[in-house]
Structure 1
């Protein structure tokens, strides 16, 4: 389970106050996979970071009793002065994974060649995404957070990502945000909509799709 209890998330600038979540309570039953709908700027990616624990709410609490991934492809946790290899070794130790196995998998899967032993600060955004996605696939999680999985690398690499992800979702649940309704319906059996700071749950994913289409 992943539980939100009275979670509020607000961003403030000098002239603006953006409410992403407004006192939201909800429990994700990780026996199911969830698709989250919402327009650009609604805060879907922020919600994913809150679920992952890479960002904290202003108030309320997020609790997890399953092993939850970071948002797939997210490389914000890499240290730019460390090499790809050093970053992978560091993260695998944090998660108690077999360091040698994880390094070998990511080096092969990411296909970034000699850059694997260069500082992450020298990477293009695409190379960083490849490294991050490979690491996501190298460590087993009970729940994967997916933020627009399709936008990683070229078509061939994208196919490899989907194949690797399909293999893991057979034994793990998913919480996904995407603008591609077909992708969400293919991967998820429950739907939510992020609407004006509230998280609205629907009994069937088609109901969430209909709500999203009507309101956006």
Structure 2
């Protein structure tokens, strides 16, 4: 299990790498985006720890490139940063991070977060999902409804994926937030409502399959 740590503070980087090695992870550290992408060309990691405030290309820019232009689009990313505003957390998670950990943090918490993210992302999942006129190719990051390509944000895509993989199951807002935004997200449940509203609109008539369960949350009903 290989973990890359992108962190410009040498002391923090060394501490994290030491903790990872003591937990029997293979790991490698990088001080900036340039060296990280060079390492990525040589070997694809199983998980990436990414600081936001870096020399040169910042962490958000690195994450955007990682999710759109590399062969590591599916590699889970945990942001590790001192930036602790709700805006920063939402930006990081919506850009494609799987979890967000604010400094200072303990190594035991970091290792626990790593295990949780790996459990969540390494479960085998079907590549092609469908419900009536809605179809999704996970590997191609492609969604269609009524034979039309639908452009979704990363979080909208993950929300739809959860529903398609678990049709006829009711999810609370908190459950959806944990599954899609990560357990560290501290925003309001209104975020889920807004994203689901947008998702329904983009899916058109097929979006009616996503039902509101009053006082509980949401369900995607199977389209017969």
Q: What is the TM-score with the length of structure 1 in the denominator?
A: 0.33
Higher relative contact order (CA 8 A, sep 6+): 1
Q: What is the TM-score with the length of structure 2 in the denominator?
A: 0.32
Higher helix share: 2
